[in-house]
Amino acid sequence: MTDLISLTARKVQDIVEDKGSVSLSHLETMVDASYNLIFLAIDHLVADKKIRLIKKESDYILSGFENFAKV
């Protein structure tokens, strides 16, 4: 299971790095994985300080630390 989380985390991180920031709802359409797996991957990335997760209106925004000021 950890391998699936790691693979999904890598996909999520690649998308965030490529786009600068992305909403959780949009990310779900871009990653072919269950919501639970995506959430676990995001949890690991946030804990490792590789991405930031902030609440914005009715969604969540994921961004890299270098792009945080742009959100």
**What CATH number should be reported for the domain whose range is 2-65?**
1.10.10.10
Residue spans per domain, the chain: 2-65
Report yes or no on whether pTM surpasses 0.75: yes
- Residues 9-68 pLDDT 10s: 999 999 999 999 999 999 999 999 999 999 999 999 999 999 999 999 899 999 997 655
pLDDT of residue 1: 63
- Burial state string for 13-49 with b = 16 or more CB within 10 A and e = fewer than 16: bebbeebebbbbeebeeebebeeebbebbbebbeeee
